Structure 1
Amino acid sequence: MAPLQTSAAQLVGKSPHNATMMLSSGGYLLTTSQMLFSLEILSFIQIPICLLGLISNIINIKVFLAMNAFNDGVTLTFLLLSVSDFCVCCSSLGLVIATIISSEEAKWLISLRGPSATPGKKLYMFSQIDPFFLSTFSIGFLQIFNVTTIVITFYLALTRCLCVVRPLKFRNVVSVKKTLRVVAISFISALLTRVPIMGHTGISMTFDLRINATRPRMWIHPRREIIKDIVWAGFDMPLCIAAQITLPVCIFIMLKGLTSAAKFRTQAMVSNDSCPAAQDAGKEKLNQKDIRVVQQMIFVSILFIVCNTPKLLTHIGTTVEPEFQIGAWQFCASPNMQHDSTRLHTCSMTARVSTHAVRQRASPRIQHVNARSR
């Protein structure tokens, strides 16, 4: 995020390395007061969503561990997806809290502007640390685990799609070692791409003219924006586009496979023949466990596509038109809006997976099928 520049008359510092807050609102769709009000409303709405995601993922982790996740590649993949989503929700909750603190400080500053403002008055400090630093720190971790979640979702959809196309050949393609290897590579890649960005951001004890007090305050190196654009164009954008294109194809293939499996089972129930040809054909069909996993992945993939589209369009709009924004308070508003769809995707997906996982644990018949298929 670019450091916002204002003048000393707007109660901010002049240092080019200090992150400052824009209080002017000319030429934008929303005024500063309207933007602050909108951010607070969105933040208070997102708090229960984040809490729902945290609770759901705790249930996920507990259930998948009870299902001996480290003995089955598919269950382990869902477990790691829940862990990644849990970290996304934690980062999102930190971002929401930092946004609320930033909004309160901005509203306090706005209320002191004008003839009624008292020069040299010690302003109220809502946070001992610059809330902009808390926002940037939370966004960095959110992006790391968000990339990990995207890769795991993509990996699950692709492997399930291959399992539908060739059940006998790819049924055991999701092994424990392969799953751990894929997740480790995705996490390390996301971490390495964020280290240069976060390394060009720091915090130091600085006198903050806005609150007339000294506190740890964030600074941003001028080259940070260039590095961020390179990472987005070379890593984030291709990953999002690849997932957005590939997942619909996987959904189509999986739906076709489920339809074919349903027709086969209907014909098998009608016909009582047990000829060798029918038995050989039955081996090529999906078993009950595969069908449940495919159904779950279809839901997760559709939810990912629906919730990832607004974020992708926002990023593309920002890339094509740098001035693309809604309000003047760019620093806190832009990252918050860009990750709203991520939070909604994560919390909704984890709630659905939790319901499915609890249902699996509560059904002895399904537990027996899972143990037998392994």
Structure 2
Amino acid sequence: MALNISSPVSRTLLSDFATTRDLLSDKDYIIVEGVITVLSVALAFVGVLGNDVSIITFVSMASKDGVTVTFLFTAAADLIYLVTVIAMGVSFLLLSVEVISGYTIWFPVEPYGVYGFLAMSGRYPYEASNLATTCLSVARCLCVAKPLLYRSSFTGNAALCITLIFSVFSIACFTPVLALMEMKVQYSNYINASRPSMWISPTRETVKDVIWTVTDAFIPIATQVIIAFCVVVMNRSLKLASEFRQKSYSGLTRRGKSSKHFAVAHAILMQ
């Protein structure tokens, strides 16, 4: 079972490695996962740079409209998530050192436990960012489809309230799962010593399955459906607006030509 940077780890190091031992040795697994982690961290650094630029840009604009506030929130949430990805990469590097050295080199705190907590913590900004992106799509769709009705509805205060609701929702979803994890001092057969290691409550899997049915199954599908619907509505509205402008321009052009012909005829008759 590979360690997913966008989802929390739910099993111990021993059981995770046991599931892959039939296919890969521990060191081979570390190498394969290490390559994926290096690529993820490299992309995360690029993302951090891009989101830093976005945040600086939105702040310097000093605009208080709802779209700018939502974009700023999304950039900040993405930045926090990418920082957790980089921290997870460091934790996995320390884990790799332990495994490759045969645990002759080990650290006072279990790197795998830190990795698991970081993976779980990264779900907070990740979920909030996805919800904010969906909200932004809906807001833009309404402004395009019904500009006179909704142009002034998505204010900065409304955006702040919506993003606050999304943040509270993310905290409410993932805190119960995180609360059933703990770094406890435990004995490890790998290092023949005790150190703070990840402990998971037996009820965590049940709670996680219930919560993630919503966050990992229902919400992503609903988000994609909503965004696709918004794109279709905006495309249709823009086409109708374009056709209306073309017809209006054609009508004005015809009236202009008629007026010009009338003026010429009038001038001829007056001679």
Q: TM-score range by the shorter chain?
A: 0.7 to 0.9
Does structure 1 residue 102 correspond to structure 2 residue 95?
A: yes
Structure 1 match to 2:74: 81
TM-score under structure 1 normalisation?
0.60
Distance verdict in 2 for CA 1:265–1:51, change over 3 Å: farther
Distance verdict in 2 for CA 1:170–1:100, change over 3 Å: same
Does structure 1 residue 234 correspond to structure 2 residue 227?
A: no
**Matches for 1:131-170 after TM superposition, within 5 Å:** 131-170=111-150
Which deviations, in whole Å up to 9, do the C-alpha atoms of 1:69-109 show, x marking residues without a partner? 3x211111111111111111111111222222223322223
SS at 1:22 equivalent: helix
CA contact (8 A) 1:39 1:103 kept: no
SS at 2:236 equivalent: helix
SS at 2:213 equivalent: helix
**Matches for 1:9-158 after TM superposition, within 5 Å:** 22-23=17-18, 25-28=20-23, 30-69=24-63, 71-109=64-102, 123-125=104-106, 127-158=107-138
Provide the rounded CA distance (Å) in 1 between the counterparts of 2:160 and 2:68.
Answer: 12
Provide the rounded CA distance (Å) in 2 between the counterparts of 1:106 and 1:36.
Answer: 8
How far 1:183 moved relative to its partner? 0.8
Higher RCO, 1 or 2 (CA under 8 Å, sep at least 6)?
1
Provide the rounded CA distance (Å) in 1 between the counterparts of 2:27 and 2:238.
Answer: 52
* Aligned residue identity for 2:125: F
**Matches for 1:285-300 after TM superposition, within 5 Å:** none
Provide the rounded CA distance (Å) in 1 between the counterparts of 2:242 and 2:232.
Answer: 15
CA contact (8 A) 1:157 1:250 kept: yes
Provide the rounded CA distance (Å) in 2 between the counterparts of 1:22 and 1:140.
Answer: 20
CA contact (8 A) 1:54 1:89 kept: yes
How far 1:139 moved relative to its partner? 1.4
Structure 1 match to 2:267: none
Which deviations, in whole Å up to 9, do the C-alpha atoms of 1:9-31 show, x marking residues without a partner? xxxxxxxxxxx652564544x55
Distance verdict in 2 for CA 1:5–1:80, change over 3 Å: closer
Of structures 1 and 2, the larger Rg is shown by 2
How far 1:39 moved relative to its partner? 0.8
Which deviations, in whole Å up to 9, do the C-alpha atoms of 1:115-158 show, x marking residues without a partner? xxxxxxxx211x33211221121112211111101110110111
Provide the rounded CA distance (Å) in 2 between the counterparts of 1:138 and 1:92.
Answer: 8
User: Which runs of 5 or more residues in structure 2 are unaligned?
Assistant: 1-8, 256-271
Distance verdict in 2 for CA 1:25–1:45, change over 3 Å: closer
User: Which runs of 5 or more residues in structure 1 are unaligned?
Assistant: 7-19, 113-122, 276-374
How far 1:219 moved relative to its partner? 1.0
CA contact (8 A) 1:40 1:99 kept: yes
Which deviations, in whole Å up to 9, do the C-alpha atoms of 1:134-192 show, x marking residues without a partner? 11211122111111011101101111111121111111221112111111111111111
SS at 1:207 equivalent: strand
TM-score under structure 2 normalisation?
0.81
CA contact (8 A) 1:159 1:173 kept: no
SS at 1:218 equivalent: strand
CA contact (8 A) 2:97 2:105 kept: no
Distance verdict in 2 for CA 1:253–1:215, change over 3 Å: same
